[in-house]
Amino acid sequence: MDEKYEKALSAALGELADLLVVPSDARDMIIAYLESKEQDRVALVAESTSDKSSVSKSILASKGVVGLASDLVQVDERFASISQAILSQLVIVEDQRTAQAILPELKNGQKVVTLNGLVFHTNGIITSGQTLPPSELDAPGKKVNSKRKSMPLMTKLSSRIVGWRN
């Protein structure tokens, strides 16, 4: 991923930056486990997740639109459907004027984010800020400094996937 998109993606993903991918057949068991844990905050998605809705080509052709996040990020093939489901709903733009201009044309659930990290939601909410430092978003082996344990992000995801399959 190009470094100039890191701030935008970090801001737009928010808590999904720590998304745990779980096998589809284990989802009910994992939900039950999560319900028993009052202190933990976790975002999870089933491996088979997919989304068919898309941003119109006319929006993507608008001046100031960089593109869909899904077209700007490369992921391991195992996570392609999940990445597409999440990132194809996120339009990256150059500035807040472009964001405000295209926002009324987006469908519910789609978001637009500026390169500076302002996130415009279709429900009118605007958020900003990053969950992770930008350099840690897509760098396997780097440490994630959060209130939870520090461990490499990719190792964290991989161990969760492997752990639920065994």
Least confident span in 19-33, 37-51, 86-100, 119-133:
37-51
Q: What percent of the chain has a predicted confidence (pLDDT) above 70?
A: 64
Q: What average pLDDT score do residues 3-11 get?
A: 84
How far CA 82 is from CA of 26, 41, 75, 124, in Å, comes to 16, 20, 10, 25
Residue 159 to residue 132: CA distance in whole angstroms: 20
- What pLDDT does residue 160 have? 46
CATH number, residue 40: 3.30.70.1620
What's the rounded Cα separation, in Å, for the pair 34 and 40? 8
pLDDT in tens, 83-111: 888 888 899 999 999 999 999 999 988 99
How many angstroms from the chain centroid is the CA of residue 56? 20
Q: What is the pLDDT of residue 48?
A: 65
Domain that holds residue 48: 3-165
The mean pLDDT of 114-137, rounded to a whole number, is: 77
**Rounded CA separation 59/137 (Å):** 26
The number of distinct structural domains making up the chain is 1
Query: How far is residue 151 from each of residues 16, 79, 88, 145, 146, measured CA to CA in Å?
Result: 17, 20, 28, 8, 9
